[in-house]
């Protein structure tokens, strides 16, 4: 089976009370996600608080995921500097990961010449297939279809794109330029049905951490072209999926997970746990969703 199909959870990173990684919780969580029909696991991404994890912590997290499930593990590869991103890519290959999700550098965002050099160094450092992660909202770097095509022409192991610009037209644009050369994935929770309609073959999802069965079913209905069924489930799911699209998406999704019995709302600073009206509004959205949870 291709790496680039189905629902790929961008997993949260569970922490112990001292904010060390809770590897036992990681194992249980990823096994549950795969048992519910998810096709792979993506640790160390934005939702996984990758920016607050050290290189050795990321490598250990990768190994835990690889050992826990038979499904592909495709970690996020991002760092402040290119040299560390290259080391992380090599650590992922050594850990037995199946592919890499390659991000632009944290903090520094510049022109295409510099961003291409960074991505090329990471891709060149591995034999693993690479998923390019385009998220201009979070990283202030926007890879155009033409730029993605340059990388695909330069490197055979550039295999897929996770499109998180929030614009489903980008999926259409990449397909028009590259045909079937790259697999295309949706990286924004509330753009799944639109993205699949435009040709996306996989979904890197967030709320799947708490609702895997609903996420898998929504993906299946969308891919099968069962528009009425997909829209009915989508309409129910959208208030939850929109929690993935705001600044405090990590805190929101971790709180939902906690309430569903999978994890704890702990986050690493500079993030802080939700309090007051923000927390209550998230719980209200969850209560409303659970009151009308559809049978699958």
Q: Each residue of 232-261: pLDDT tens digit?
A: 999 999 999 999 999 999 999 999 999 999
Catalytic residue among 139, 162, 219, 254: 162
CATH number of the domain at 36, please.
3.20.20.70
Annotation says 133 is catalytic: yes
- pLDDT range class, residue 170, cuts 50, 70, 90: confident
Q: Tell me which residue range forms the domain holding 51.
A: 6-237
Mean pLDDT computed over 19-46: 98
CB count within 10 Å of CB 171 equals 25
Answer whether residue 158 is part of any domain. Answer: yes
Answer whether residue 295 is part of any domain. Answer: no
Annotation says 58 is catalytic: no
Check pLDDT > 80 for residue 140. Answer: no
CA distances from 202 to 35, 158, 183, 184, 295 (A): 18, 16, 8, 7, 23
Answer whether residue 49 is part of any domain. Answer: yes
Catalytic residue among 133, 139, 219, 234: 133
Burial of 173 (0-12, 13-18, 19+ CB in 10 A): middle
Mean pLDDT of all residues belonging to the chain:
95
Number of domains making up the chain = 1
């Amino acid at each position: 089976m291709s790496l680039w199909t189905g629902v790929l959870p961008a997993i949260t990173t569970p922490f112990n009370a001292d904010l060390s990684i809770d590897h036992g919780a990681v194992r249980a969580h990823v096994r549950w996600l795969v048992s519910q029909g998810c096709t792979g696991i993506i640790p160390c991404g934005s939702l996984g608080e990758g920016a607050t994890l050290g290189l050795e912590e990321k490598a250990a997290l990768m190994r835990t995921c690889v050992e826990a499930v038979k499904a592909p593990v495709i970690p996020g590869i991002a760092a402040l500097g290119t040299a560390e991103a290259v080391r992380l890519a090599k650590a992922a290959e050594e850990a037995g990961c199946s592919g890499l999700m390659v991000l632009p550098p944290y903090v520094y965002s510049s022109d295409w010449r510099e961003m291409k050099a960074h991505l090329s160094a990471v891709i060149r450092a591995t034999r693993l297939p690479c998923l390019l992660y385009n998220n201009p909202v979070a990283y202030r770097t926007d890879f155009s279809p033409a730029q993605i095509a340059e990388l695909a022409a330069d490197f055979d192991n550039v295999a897929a794109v996770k499109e998180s610009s929030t614009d489903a037209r980008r999926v259409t644009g990449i397909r028009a330029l590259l045909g079937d050369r790259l697999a295309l994935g949706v990286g924004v929770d509330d753009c799944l049905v639109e993205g699949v309609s435009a040709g996306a073959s996989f979904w890197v999802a967030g709320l799947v951490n708490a609702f895997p069965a609903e996420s898998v079913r929504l993906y299946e209905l969308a891919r099968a072209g069962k528009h009425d069924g997909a829209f009915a489930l989508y309409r129910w799911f959208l208030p939850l999926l929109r929690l993935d699209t705001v600044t405090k998406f990590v805190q929101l999704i971790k709180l939902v997970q906690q309430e569903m019995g999978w994890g704890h709302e702990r986050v690493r600073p500079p993030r802080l746990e939700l309090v007051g009206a923000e927390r209550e509004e998230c719980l209200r959205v969850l209560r409303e969703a659970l009151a009308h949870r559809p049978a699958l």
